Chain A
Amino acid sequence: MFSGLGIFLAVAGTATVSQAFFLGAIVLLLLLFNSLVSAVVGELLQKKVGLWPQVILTSLVLSALSLFLTNAFAALPENTVILYALLAASPLVYSRSQLLSYSTTIDRALFDAAGTGVGTVAVLLALALVRQLAGQGRLANLIVFPRAPWPLLNTMFGGILLTGILLVIFNLVKYRK
C-alpha cells in the first residue's frame, strides 16, 4: 500500500466499511491465488509465470467469482463493480507473485501473500471507518453523530486527503524509528 500500488483502492474503495472490507477481501484472495500459482509453477517447473498469463488467469477468477456476487454488488457503492474489475490489472495483486513467490517455497509464499493481504485489508478498513464515521456520521445502520462532523471525507477528495494523512503518520513513525 505504501509503495503506491494500492493508492487507488485507498482513495476510491473506502467510501464505506463494507466496500473496503469487500475489496480488501478480494485483494487478499487474489494475492493468495497468484502467489500459490507462482510458487507451484516455480517449484515444479523452476520457471516464473509471466505477467500477462497471470493477468488473464486472475480475470477468469474474478469473472467466475462475480457470478456469485451479484447481490453483494447491489448493496455496495456504484463504483465497486469497476474497482473490482480493475483489480485484474492492478500491480497490487501481482506484486508478491512477480517479485518473490516463484523463488520461494509454497508455504512461505502463502504466508507472505497473507501478510500483505491482511495489511491491505487493515489499512482499507481503518480508512473506511474514519471516512464513514466522520463523513456520514454513521456506521452500518447505526447513527453515531446526528450531523456528520466532517462531510468532506464523504467525497473522493476526502479519500485522497485521508490517505495522505495516513501516509504522513506512517512517515512520522518511520522517521522516529
Chain B
Amino acid sequence: MTEPFALSFLTGLLALNPAVSLGLIPTAAQGASRDHRQAFHYGLLGALTMLLYGLLAWLLHFYLVLPFNIAAYELPLLLLMMPGLNWSLARLLKPWPRLNRNLPLFYLNFLALAAALVLLQHPPATFGIMTLTLLGMAASFLVSLVLISHLRARLETALFPKPLKGWPSFLLASGILWIAFQGLLMLVK
C-alpha cells in the first residue's frame, strides 16, 4: 500500500531533481553562497519555490491545459505564474527575513521551471503521488545545494593551478556530486 508513495518520493529525491537529472548542478550553484547557513536558506527558499511552483504547474496542466486543449500555450502560462509566485512569496515570507532577502532570484525561478517541466513530462496521475514526488525533488535540491556550498568553500581555499581555478574545478566537483546521486539511484533501482 505504501510502496507507490515511497517510490514516488524516492524517484523525486534521486531521479527527478533537475539539478541532477538535467545537469543543472553548476547552474544551481551559481547563485549559491559558500556560507553554509546562507546556502541552506537559499536552498530552503529554492525548495519552497520548487514545491509551490510544481504544485501550481500540475494544477494548471490538469485543470486548464488538458480540458481546454491549449498545450501550445502551456509555457507562456507557466511563466506568467512566476512573477505572481515571487510576489506572493515575498509577502508570505516577510516575517522570515533570512529567507525573504534571497528574493527575487532568477536562478531559483529557472530551477523551479525546470522542476515543473520535468514533472509535467510524465505527470503523476494523483495529487498524493505528485505531492510526494515534488517533496522528494525539493528535498533533493536542498541537499544538493548545501553539499555544493561545502564543495565551493573548500574549492575556493584549495591550492590549484591558475587555469583550473573557478568554473573548471567547480564543474569537476559538480560532476562528482552527479556521480554520487547516480550511485544512490542505482542502489534504489
Contact = CB atoms under 8 A, between A and B. Distances in A.
B42 to A, nearest CB: 17
B121 interface: yes
A contact residues, range: 35 or more
B contact residues, range: 35 or more
A82 B23 contact: no
Interface stretch (A18-26, A29-37, A51-59, A110-118): A51-59
A172 B162 CA distance: 9
Main secondary structure of the interface of A (DSSP, over half): helix
Given A4-B167, A157-B178, A88 B162 contact: no
Contact of A83 (B22, B165, B166, B182): B22
Given A4-B167, A56-B80, A175-B162, A156 B113 contact: no
Nearest to B83: A52
Interface in A1-30: 2, 4, 7-8, 11-12
A91 B172 CA distance: 23
A92 to B, nearest CB: 10
A85 B114 CA distance: 9
Interface in B136-189: 162-169, 171-172, 174-175, 178-179, 182
Interface of A: 2, 4, 7-8, 11-12, 51-52, 55-56, 59-60, 62-64, 66-67, 79, 81-83, 85-86, 88-91, 156-157, 159-161, 163-165, 167-168, 171-172, 175
Given A86-B22, A161-B171, A171-B162, 12 more contacts: A7-B26, A12-B22, A60-B76, A63-B73, A66-B75, A81-B121, A88-B79, A88-B113, A161-B172, A167-B167, A171-B168, A175-B163
